[in-house]
Amino acid sequence: MAEIVNLKSARKAKARTEKERAAEANRAKFGRTKEERLNEEAAKDRAARELDGKRIDE
């Protein structure tokens, strides 16, 4: 005899797993740690200050 399955619950479970799979892919694609983001921002600021310091004003 087959097990009785609530289709509404099955659909919700399937949607949940699909969402989790998409979230995992996005974390792998876009995810960076806070430290990495801050280091990159600091490097950009440092480069901009260095470039502004070498600008010749007329």
DSSP track, 1-58? -PPP--HHHHHHHHHHHHHHHHHHHHHHHH---HHHHHHHHHHHHHHHHHHHHTPPP-
Structure tokens at 40: 């990159």
Structure tokens at 42: 């600091």
Domain for residue 35, yes or no? yes
For the chain, the domain total comes to 1
Q: What's the pTM? A: 0.50
* Domain range enclosing 35: 8-53
pLDDT tens for the chain, 58 residues long, are 789 999 999 999 999 999 999 999 998 888 888 899 899 999 999 999 999 988 888 7
Domain for residue 28, yes or no? yes
Distance, CA of 20 to chain centre:
13
Q: Count of CB atoms within 10 A of residue 29's CB? A: 7
Domain for residue 23, yes or no? yes
Domain for residue 49, yes or no? yes
Q: What is the pLDDT of residue 43?
A: 97
Domain for residue 29, yes or no? yes
Domain for residue 32, yes or no? yes
Domain for residue 58, yes or no? no
